């Protein structure tokens, strides 16, 4: 309501240029509309998360800056209404309407979105995901959020444009161990052979931040990785020894080679979190074996042999040791086609 801010059931009828609403008396709508919302110049926000305890809202702002908050009965109904209302708002622009329907089931994640940026935003005390206590199968869980709440949050913060995209993005957050399932429903879904069904867009599926996925506020530097570079197909992975850039010491790292897009990431096997400590694009790189007779310039410390070098297009040199000549050949042959 505009005067008394209470919530009342209304019967809505969507026309080409306006949204009519009727009072309900005795289970039937009255013959004359109670009011109307002109859609010309209107903007729509869906999902609208301005009311924490009302996750099924659509917000309409007219060109005269009047706000209407409409609550639906389910997420499916809300999203269907939002799509049809948006289509009516852009009725004079058929190309935009076609694009809206195409986007509904499309997959087009933005390349410049970083998983770390998303998690940082999720932790924000004022605009982040709301954490609540939940009960599942008799077990109480603190600081959890539902799958559908995360999907809504990702869309409302413009990290995704459709529920399909948001579910895919949430699945990536779970795969990279930023969030984890809790409770029976969400945990059982992770056993699905279909990747699209491992994260549930459901108000009864519970998730929480993985303890080791929390942002380290004391860290002065944090390596950023885009969604695109971590979404490639894994071509090869294994343990290699890498020389550090600053101290020039040698450390064991788990390397993961991905294609489409071509990236090489390395992980610290002593840490539980499944996120890279470094990585780079292979496009424009040069990879070559280093002969064992004599240590090349730039290499220090204990060198056992089976060295190879990768030079990025930005002229950054990576020195890596394999456990054998055969393994070195395998890695070089796997990397070369992706450069």
Taking only the tens place, the pLDDT of each residue in 267-322 is 888 776 677 888 888 989 999 998 755 556 557 666 767 889 999 887 788 889 99
Report pLDDT for 263.
92
Backbone Cα Rg of the chain: 26
Judged on CB neighbours under 10 Å (0-12, 13-18, 19+), 153 is buried
| Cβ pair 321, 251 in contact under 8 A | no
Q: In this structure, which CATH number among 3.40.50.170, 2.30.29.30, 3.30.420.10, 3.40.710.10 belongs to the domain 227-336?
A: 2.30.29.30
Mean of pLDDT over the chain: 80
Report pLDDT for 216.
40
Comparing 108 with 77, the larger pLDDT belongs to 77
Mean pLDDT value across residues 217-239: 67
Q: How far is the C-alpha of 206 from the C-alpha of 14, rounded, in Å?
A: 35
Report pLDDT for 101.
53
CATH topology for the 10-104 domain: PH-domain like (2.30.29)
Judged on CB neighbours under 10 Å (0-12, 13-18, 19+), 45 is middle
- pLDDT band for 116, please (50, 70, 90 cuts): confident
pLDDT digits (tens, 9 = 90+) for 255-267: 999 998 899 999 8
Q: How far is the C-alpha of 43 from the C-alpha of 161, rounded, in Å?
A: 16
CA 290 to chain centre: 40
Report pLDDT for 273.
67
- Please name the residues in contact with 288: beta carbons below 8 A apart, sequence gap of 6 or more: 308, 309, 332
pLDDT digits (tens, 9 = 90+) for 40-55: 889 888 888 788 778 7
292-300 contacts at long range (C-beta below 8 A, 24 or more positions apart):
299/243, 300/243, 300/248
* 227-336 shares the fold of 10-104: yes
The helix or strand, by DSSP H or E, that contains position 12, with its residue range, turns out to be strand 10-14
Comparing 199 with 125, the larger pLDDT belongs to 199
CATH topology for the 115-209 domain: Arc Repressor Mutant, subunit A (1.10.10)
CA 108 to chain centre: 12
Is residue 206 over pLDDT 70?
Answer: yes
Q: How far is the C-alpha of 257 from the C-alpha of 155, rounded, in Å?
A: 30
Neighbouring C-beta atoms of residue 220, cutoff 10 Å: 5
**Domain chopping of the chain, boundaries:** 10-104, 115-209, 227-336
pLDDT digits (tens, 9 = 90+) for 13-44: 999 889 999 988 877 888 999 999 999 889 88
Determine the 3-state secondary structure of 117 from DSSP.
helix
């Amino acid at each position: 309501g505009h005067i008394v801010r209470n919530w009342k059931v209304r019967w809505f009828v969507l026309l080409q240029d306006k949204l009519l609403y009727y009072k309900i008396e005795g289970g039937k709508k009255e013959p004359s509309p109670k009011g109307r919302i002109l859609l010309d110049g209107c903007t729509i926000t869906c999902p609208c998360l301005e009311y924490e305890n009302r996750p099924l809202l659509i917000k309409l702002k007219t060109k005269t800056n009047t706000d209407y908050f409409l609550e639906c009965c389910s997420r499916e109904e809300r999203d269907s209404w939002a799509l049809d209302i948006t289509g009516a708002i852009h009725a004079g622009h058929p190309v935009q309407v076609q694009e809206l329907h195409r986007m509904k089931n499309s997959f087009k994640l933005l390349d410049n979105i970083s998983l770390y940026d998303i998690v940082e935003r999720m932790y924000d005390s004022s605009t982040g995901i709301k954490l609540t206590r939940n009960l599942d199968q008799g077990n109480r869980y603190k600081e959890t959020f539902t799958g559908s709440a995360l999907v809504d949050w990702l869309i409302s913060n413009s990290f995704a444009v459709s529920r399909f995209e948001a579910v895919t993005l949430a699945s990536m957050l779970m795969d990279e161990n930023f969030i984890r399932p809790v409770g029976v429903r969400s945990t059982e879904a992770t056993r699905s052979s279909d990747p699209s069904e491992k994260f549930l867009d459901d108000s009864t599926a519970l998730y929480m931040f993985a303890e080791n996925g929390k942002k380290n506020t004391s860290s002065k530097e944090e390596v950023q990785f885009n969604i695109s570079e971590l979404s490639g197909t894994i071509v090869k992975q294994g343990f290699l020894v890498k020389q550090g850039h600053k101290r020039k010491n040698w450390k064991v790292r788990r390397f993961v080679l991905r294609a489409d897009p071509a990236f090489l990431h390395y992980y610290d096997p002593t840490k539980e979190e499944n996120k890279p400590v470094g990585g780079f694009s292979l496009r424009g790189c040069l990879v070559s074996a280093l002969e064992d007779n004599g240590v090349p310039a730039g290499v220090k410390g204990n060198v056992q042999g089976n060295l190879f070098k990768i030079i990025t297009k930005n002229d950054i040199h990576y020195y890596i040791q394999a456990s054998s000549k055969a393994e070195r050949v395998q890695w070089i042959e796997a990397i070369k086609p992706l450069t």
